[in-house]
């Protein structure tokens, strides 16, 4: 997994660079580069994980009920 502090540090460094004036182009390019890199990753949002966890819990409960009924 990626370290969340890495993104906080990158954001902080980008903000520092922007405040120095001509670094606005750097920020624009860095954001585009990061966005391009993230788009290549197969990332899942926290919301999607929460939905999948809920579905898994329901399926496990249903399976347990079916197995208990079978015996």
Where along the chain do its domains lie? 1-40, 43-71
pLDDT digits (tens, 9 = 90+) for 29-42: 888 888 888 778 88
- Could you tell me the two tokens for 40? 């290549």
Tell whether pTM > 0.75. Answer: no
The string of pLDDT tens digits covering residues 3-38 is 777 778 878 877 776 666 666 777 778 888 888 887
* CB burial string 17-26: b at 16+ within 10 A, e below: ebeeeebeee
């Amino acid at each position: 997994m990626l370290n969340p502090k890495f993104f906080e540090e990158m954001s902080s460094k980008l903000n520092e660079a922007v405040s120095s004036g001509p670094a606005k182009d750097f920020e624009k390019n860095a954001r585009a580069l990061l966005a391009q890199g993230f788009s290549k990753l197969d990332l899942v949002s926290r919301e999607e994980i929460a939905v999948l966890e809920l579905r898994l819990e329901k399926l496990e409960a249903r399976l347990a009920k079916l197995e208990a009924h079978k015996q």
